[in-house]
Structure 1
Amino acid sequence: MGKYRFRAIGMLIAITCASCGDWLYLIALNLKVYEQAEQTAAAVAILYMIKPAAGLLMNSWAGSIIDRLDNRKLMITLHLIRIVGLIGMIMADSLWQIYVLVFFVAAAGSIFEPASLPYITGLIKERHWQKFNSYRAIADGSGFVIGPAAAGILVGAGSVEAALTVNILLLLLAAVICFVLPSVKVALEEKAESKWLQIWKEDWRLVFDYSKSFAMLTFLLLLFSCFTVMTASVDSMEVAFAAEAIGLSEASYGLLVSIAGVGFISGSVLLTVVTRYFRSVQLLTYGASAGAMGYVLFAFSQSFIPASAGVFILSGALAFANAGYVTYMQERIPVEQMGRMLSMYQSIEAVLIIGMTAVLAGINQLTSVAAAVQIGCLIMLMLAILLGMCSLKANVKTKA
């Protein structure tokens, strides 16, 4: 039991390091691109389109590899690839070079998520999944607070390059921890005569057949994916909205992000206390509904105080929603298929994110950033209501 707890804690520390680095990288890069592009919201929106574009390119086939390789070794490799990309980003001196390197880093990141979930599912005992995911929310929330705060300090006192260097060190630490942790599953065997294209087609057929057999499960997961799409699309306008619609300075925006981080941690801590009283689907739907209301409050804010209340609520609620979503998948998708299922669902999600981000950017150009954010948040609220209605009526089958 002592060794098991050590492994769980080690995984949480690795997640905290990666989360902190991701937020530090995201905030610093947003500010750098926004300034370098002469405060053009569309330039920042492109950053938010690069990640789903990379996901679309990688996830359509990456799942076939994820379920056939040692996930721990793959996670270490992906951490190292991201480190190399960040080193290149430090040396980049033009906006387009940054975009190319962001794509490179995002491609590795898009594979990492569906690779890490099967590994964690195997590492953690089934009865502890929901509890672990609640503590994982705290780990993510710690990065949410520390990352932006560190980015503000490093960018203010030094440069974006200093922030990226710290990110490299955090990813290196996460890679070392993964190296110490054990492998937890055996790679699937393939027939010698199997062709890669044939394997890829069979994997897509497997995902389709499973999704058809568990239609309500698939529908609920896709609904939540649409909700996630809207959060990503609205977030792409966040910097410009805070500056133009609310009139916040960079310092005030940094404080707003920190408040969101505090909200996420507060929600995560509350989640660890109450998680045993809820099923995973309840965490998912209640969290999505409260998160959507927080987004709407933020979208219609005209000053710092209501905006900060909105981000506090939405962040705390999303801790519940994300933990519920991950546990829900772990309970119902076989671990030996999880990489393929998650990767291919994320391919669909990537297409939707690119489309909705482009739509909101177009609305921004035609009207205002405030109108774009408000429309996005109202759509998000409708999706949350639909998700709640469907979850109440659903009689979802258990894992095959």
Structure 2
Amino acid sequence: MKVKKYRIRAIGMLIAIACASCGDWLYLIALNLKVYEQADQAAAAVAILYMIKPAAGLLMNSWAGSIIDRLDNRKLMILLYAIRIFGIAGMIIATSLWQIYVLVFFVAAAGAIFEPASLPYITGLIHKRHWQKFNSYRAIADGSGFVLGPAAAGILVGAGSVEIALGANIVLLLAAVIICIALPSVKVVLEQSSEEKWLKIWREDWRLVTAFSKKFVMLTLLLLVFSCITVMTAAVDSMEVAFSSEAIGLSKPAYGLLVSIAGVGFVSGSLLLTIVSRHFRSIQLLAYGAAGGALGYVLFAFSQNFLSASAGVFILSGALAFANAGYVTYIQEHIPVEQMGRMLSMYQSIEAILIIGMTAVLAGINQLTNVAAAVQTGCLIMLSLTVLLVIISKRTLVEKKPDIL
């Protein structure tokens, strides 16, 4: 009975992840269209949306970890889902751009906190011996959203309106909330409520992260290099539409097909991951997946036609399924769950700064030269970082889970 209940809980968590992933894609596409229409087809208005998310992450992640490790993660996840639901509901009835931007900020802020809050919960919910296997299936759950979300958005927007697509996102988030309510709490709270001032607690937590990073230098270096690779993927992705149109000459339908191929690549990589993951260590999945992803990006960046671009996005999407699963498992294996919220939040605040900076750098290169040069520069930097990541992974494999500081 216990084994059956455990499996049901794991499957329930995967279904919640799939619902949220599909909803995220519905939200992204529908929101872009709503803002584009509301702003009388001004591209600059849509560009602002891509600045709000990293800005919200930067603001929230610098302190959110201090709260995450001191609260019941399941209850916090439910609260964050609720904030996103009410925020999206507000967007449906919003009548001005500034109202939408404010609501987008709150939804983005809740999303920024959700990731470092959910991983400690999943780490406690799933048995240690099943972490890598669960993360392999999680890649499929995320991939299903990658494929189904844009397709559903196209159908709902085409047959109805942007508001209907946003409403469907609310339904999916409600389903995720119901599942989270049914799941048990996992007692991984670091400490009892403290009477200390939050400013003092926040400073102590930053000292803890700094001390941890200094004590486990190679672990920290490995995670930071992978974060830099993630930063480069985000910066390159921000120019993907312009590159596909200007450098390769793809039409809108062709670009839509390219996105679908990327989704198929991610699902294919995820399915392969579930078969072969037990034969690899998490650090190998991380390093080799990142290497394959970088090669796929380089192939895409130097593509001259649809065929080579399709091969590039298929390879990079499939490889990133391996890299992401390896990254999550590696964190679970080497960062104490009691510190995970703070570590992830504070590392992600650094990542947000780098994303904003690198996006600006590539935009500057685009202005000085052209979009192809900007994307190719970003992908070559990514490939160089991947070589460094593979070297680090070969030289140091951290076996022992660090003790709590």
Distance in 1, Cα, partners of 2:173 & 2:101: 20
Query: Does the C-alpha gap of structure 1 residues 309 and 43 become closer, same or farther in structure 2, counting only changes over 3 Å?
Result: farther
**1:194 corresponds to which of 193, 196, 205:** 196
- Aligned partner of 1:25 in structure 2 is 27
**Residues 282-303 of structure 1, C-alpha deviation per residue, up to 9 Å, x if partnerless?**
0001000110111111122232
**Residues 321-340 of structure 1, C-alpha deviation per residue, up to 9 Å, x if partnerless?**
00000000000000011001
Query: Does the C-alpha gap of structure 1 residues 374 and 155 become closer, same or farther in structure 2, counting only changes over 3 Å?
Result: farther
1:86-235 alignment runs, 5 A limit: 86-190=88-192, 192-235=194-237
Contact 1:141-1:264 within 8 A present in 2 as well: yes
Query: Does the C-alpha gap of structure 1 residues 285 and 396 become closer, same or farther in structure 2, counting only changes over 3 Å?
Result: same
Contact 2:70-2:193 within 8 A present in 1 as well: no
**Residues 244-264 of structure 1, C-alpha deviation per residue, up to 9 Å, x if partnerless?**
333333332222111111100
TM-score in terms of structure 2 length: 0.94
The residue identity in structure 2 corresponding to 1:335 is V
Distance in 2, Cα, partners of 1:91 & 1:191: 39
Structure 1's unaligned 5+ residue stretches are none
- Aligned partner of 2:336 in structure 1 is 334
Distance in 2, Cα, partners of 1:248 & 1:301: 11
**1:79 corresponds to which of 70, 81, 85:** 81
Deviation at 1:88, TM superposition (A): 1.6
Contact 2:35-2:46 within 8 A present in 1 as well: yes
1:340-359 alignment runs, 5 A limit: 340-359=342-361
TM-score in terms of structure 1 length: 0.95
The residue identity in structure 2 corresponding to 1:28 is A
**Residues 302-354 of structure 1, C-alpha deviation per residue, up to 9 Å, x if partnerless?**
32222111111110000000000000000000001100111111011011011
Query: Does the C-alpha gap of structure 1 residues 246 and 41 become closer, same or farther in structure 2, counting only changes over 3 Å?
Result: farther
Contact 1:297-1:310 within 8 A present in 2 as well: yes
Distance in 2, Cα, partners of 1:248 & 1:95: 30
Distance in 2, Cα, partners of 1:331 & 1:169: 34
- Aligned partner of 2:56 in structure 1 is 54
Distance in 1, Cα, partners of 2:188 & 2:285: 32
Deviation at 1:369, TM superposition (A): 2.2
Distance in 2, Cα, partners of 1:312 & 1:263: 4
Deviation at 1:101, TM superposition (A): 2.2
Deviation at 1:96, TM superposition (A): 3.9
- Aligned partner of 1:318 in structure 2 is 320
Aligned-residue CA RMSD in angstroms? Answer: 1.8
3-state SS of paired residue (1:264): helix
Structure 1 stretch 119-128 or stretch 203-212: which is displaced more?
203-212
- Aligned partner of 1:379 in structure 2 is 381
Query: Does the C-alpha gap of structure 1 residues 193 and 24 become closer, same or farther in structure 2, counting only changes over 3 Å?
Result: closer
> Does 1:369 pair with 2:371?
yes
The residue identity in structure 2 corresponding to 1:99 is Y
Query: Does the C-alpha gap of structure 1 residues 30 and 370 become closer, same or farther in structure 2, counting only changes over 3 Å?
Result: farther
Structure 2's unaligned 5+ residue stretches are none
- Aligned partner of 2:244 in structure 1 is 242
Query: Does the C-alpha gap of structure 1 residues 191 and 119 become closer, same or farther in structure 2, counting only changes over 3 Å?
Result: closer
Distance in 1, Cα, partners of 2:17 & 2:42: 33
**1:396 corresponds to which of 365, 390, 398:** 398
Deviation at 1:159, TM superposition (A): 2.5
Distance in 2, Cα, partners of 1:284 & 1:345: 17
Contact 2:189-2:338 within 8 A present in 1 as well: no
Distance in 2, Cα, partners of 1:150 & 1:108: 24
Distance in 2, Cα, partners of 1:102 & 1:214: 37
The residue identity in structure 1 corresponding to 2:79 is T
**Residues 97-132 of structure 1, C-alpha deviation per residue, up to 9 Å, x if partnerless?**
433322211100000000000000000000000000
Distance in 1, Cα, partners of 2:312 & 2:44: 24
3-state SS of paired residue (2:398): coil
Query: Does the C-alpha gap of structure 1 residues 185 and 191 become closer, same or farther in structure 2, counting only changes over 3 Å?
Result: closer
3-state SS of paired residue (2:338): helix
Deviation at 1:395, TM superposition (A): 4.2
The residue identity in structure 2 corresponding to 1:149 is A
Contact 2:334-2:398 within 8 A present in 1 as well: no
Distance in 1, Cα, partners of 2:94 & 2:370: 32
3-state SS of paired residue (1:282): helix
- Aligned partner of 2:15 in structure 1 is 13
Contact 2:124-2:188 within 8 A present in 1 as well: no
Distance in 1, Cα, partners of 2:339 & 2:55: 23
Contact 1:48-1:233 within 8 A present in 2 as well: no
Deviation at 1:239, TM superposition (A): 2.1
Percent identical: 80
3-state SS of paired residue (2:274): helix
Deviation at 1:70, TM superposition (A): 0.5
The residue identity in structure 1 corresponding to 2:367 is Q
The residue identity in structure 1 corresponding to 2:51 is M
The residue identity in structure 1 corresponding to 2:162 is V
Aligned residue-pair number: 400
3-state SS of paired residue (2:339): helix
Distance in 1, Cα, partners of 2:303 & 2:196: 57
